[in-house]
């Protein structure tokens, strides 16, 4: 399963939904769940914003992707940390920020225990020259957005999915959207949490308590 969150604190999320998480699930926070993280202090062990996520990811044997405002010196980046079962795989930065942030310089993908994943942070999904990252053997492609549902970004995600022949999972502030490999919108789930079944193949929906899961046919 992929559980996507926005506008909810990490501790609140695991308190309310943690019993639903199983080994190899992916938990995604698209909106600055960590606040500002001083990266040099984090690497030197003088700050522990990521420690709780690392410990929880190891305990539950899950993958966590958490957006944050990364600080390096006096500069700030719109970033996302990737943690695979307690191991930090790396940090991706938005490459083409629209304002207030320094742009990153490389499009990164990650070989995780559930397969290779590719992240597009905020406006990056709108730039076709960056789509090549999703073509290089990636199993899962995610578009992480700090805004509410945006038609331009969704259209870009649909074009990306069609161009690379892969499902793209988008998380906005107010909903999650599953785009199939042909570029069609397969599912829109409103609210602070949305959940989708892995692998993201053609699927049907089934209501289970608080959330809508994606079940394979």
Q: What is the pLDDT of residues 151-190, one digit of tens each?
A: 999 999 999 999 988 999 999 999 999 999 999 999 999 9
Question: Using 50, 70 and 90 to split pLDDT, how confident is the model at 198?
Answer: low
* Joined tokens for residue 179: 């785009």
Q: Is 41 helix (H, G, I), strand (E, B) or coil?
A: helix
pLDDT at 109: 93
Contact by Cβ (8 Å): 181, 153: no
Type and span of the H or E element at 60: helix 51-60
Q: What is the pLDDT of residues 12-60, one digit of tens each?
A: 999 999 999 999 999 999 877 888 888 888 777 666 778 889 999 999 9
pLDDT at 208: 29
CATH of domain 2-216: 3.60.110.10
Distance CA 133, CA 10 (A): 28
- Neighbouring C-beta atoms of residue 198, cutoff 10 Å: 18
* Joined tokens for residue 77: 């980046």
| Domain spans, the chain | 2-216
Of 102, 110, 107, which Cα lies nearest the Cα of 69?
102
- Whether the CA torsion 201, 202, 204, 207 is positive or negative: it is positive
Q: What is the pLDDT of residues 64-94, one digit of tens each?
A: 999 999 999 899 999 999 999 999 999 999 9
DSSP states of 117-164: EEEEEGGGGG-GGGTHHHHSS-SEEEEE-SSS--HHHHHHHHHHHHHH
* Joined tokens for residue 9: 């604190």
How buried is residue 183: exposed, middle or buried, by Cβ count under 10 Å (0-12/13-18/19+)? middle
188 HSE (CA, 13 A, CB side)? 12
Distance CA 38, CA 97 (A): 19
């Amino acid at each position: 399963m992929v559980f996507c969150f926005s506008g909810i604190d990490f501790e609140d999320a695991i308190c309310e939904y943690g019993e639903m998480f199983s080994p190899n699930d992916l938990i995604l926070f698209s909106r600055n769940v960590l606040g500002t993280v001083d990266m040099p202090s984090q690497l030197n062990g003088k700050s522990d914003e990521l420690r709780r996520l690392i410990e929880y990811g190891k305990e539950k044997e899950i993958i966590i992707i958490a957006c944050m405002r990364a600080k390096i010196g006096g500069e700030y980046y719109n970033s996302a940390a990737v943690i695979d079962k307690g191991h930090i795989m790396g940090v991706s930065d938005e490459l083409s920020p629209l304002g207030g942030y320094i742009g990153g310089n490389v499009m990164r993908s990650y070989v995780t225990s559930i397969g290779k994943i590719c992240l597009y942070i905020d406006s990056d999904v709108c730039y076709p020259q960056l789509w090549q990252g999703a073509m290089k053997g990636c199993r899962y492609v995610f578009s992480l957005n700090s805004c509410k549902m945006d038609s331009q970004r969704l259209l870009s995600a649909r074009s990306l999915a069609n161009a690379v022949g892969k499902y793209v999972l988008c998380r906005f502030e107010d909903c999650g959207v599953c785009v199939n490999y042909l570029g069609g919108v397969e599912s829109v789930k409103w609210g602070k949490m949305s959940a989708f079944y892995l692998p993201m193949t053609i699927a049907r929906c089934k209501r289970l308590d608080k959330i809508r899961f994606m079940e394979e046919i």
